[in-house]
Amino acid sequence: MKLSSFTMKCLAASLILASSTGVAFAKAKNYKGESYKDEIAVPCPPPKMLMDGFYLGGQVGYDSWKVRENVNTPGTSNITAFTANPQIAENAWLGGLFLGYGQYLTDLFYLGGEIFANYENSNSTWSAQTATPAASYQSKFETNASYGLAFLPGLRVNDATLGYIRLGWNWAHLKAVENTSRSTGSDSTSDSNTSNGFNFGVGMETLVYQNWSVRGEFAHTWYNSFTTNFDTKYNPSDNLYTLGVIYHFG
């Protein structure tokens, strides 16, 4: 009986020692211990957001002009009169720069304003001939630089994307060159004009990397008409498609 009692005491001591060692091991390994609850979660990166403030951008685009030409060159008993009403189509690539400032007025509504300048160099020619008496008429319409200003009210699509409309006023340097040839001789005129008109359009901008964003836009301008020295009236308008890259000064 003394041996059994001694054995029982040894077994009890061994169990106590094993239990203490296991608890210490679990705490050392943070295995389901209290320190497991105190671990700090890694924060998520902040979402990409378009910035308020000044911005500078460059753009390239495709300009599609429509010009209604009212030709009414007077004639006499010996000179043929030209009367026509053609529509000239002229397409050109252009490049430009713009500078603006924009700000979210609320979490949803945005308002911006910008100035811009574009450059293109293109022309389109139209001509007509008569057989009796022999005569000819030729007209060339040329486009050059344009510039303007606009307001850009918009709506937030998400933190990185903005949809907007363009409301502004444009000026464009245009030129008309006309030539006539008759049996009595030939004549020509060259008339330059700075036409202006209301500009409106729609666009979308999205942030791509840090302070950089891109935008795509369509805009239309109705320019005022002008009359040449041959009493030919030109009524121009254009559709402009552009893709721009923007840097925001944050």
The CATH architecture one would assign to domain 53-248 is Beta Barrel (2.40)
pLDDT tens by residue, 14-45: 545 445 555 444 444 444 445 445 556 666 65
Q: The dihedral of CA 23, 29, 31, 34: what is its sign?
A: positive
Q: Is the pLDDT of residue 55 over 90?
A: yes
Q: Kindly list the domain boundaries of the chain, sorted by start residue.
A: 2-38, 53-248
pLDDT tens by residue, 91-110: 999 999 999 999 999 999 99
pLDDT tens by residue, 142-190: 999 999 999 999 999 999 999 999 999 999 999 999 988 876 778 888 9
125: tokens are: 């020619």
pLDDT of residue 1: 46
pLDDT of residue 9: 56
Query: Which amino acid belongs to residue 121?
Result: N
* Neighbour tally for 102: CB within 10 Å: 22
Confidence of residue 61 (pLDDT cuts 50, 70, 90): very high
Report which DSSP code applies to 132. Answer: T
Name the helix (H) or strand (E) containing 28. helix 2-29
More confident residue, 151 or 80: 151
Query: Which amino acid belongs to residue 6?
Result: F
pLDDT of residue 28: 46
pLDDT of residue 59: 97
pLDDT of residue 164: 98
More confident residue, 29 or 63: 63
pLDDT tens by residue, 205-243: 999 999 999 999 999 999 999 999 888 999 999 999 999
More confident residue, 132 or 112: 112
Q: The dihedral of CA 179, 180, 185, 187: what is its sign?
A: negative
* Distance between CA atoms of residues 95 and 117, nearest Å: 9
pLDDT of residue 137: 85
List, in sequence order, every beta strand (DSSP E) within 31-108.
53-73, 82-84, 87-104
Confidence of residue 77 (pLDDT cuts 50, 70, 90): very low
pLDDT of residue 108: 94
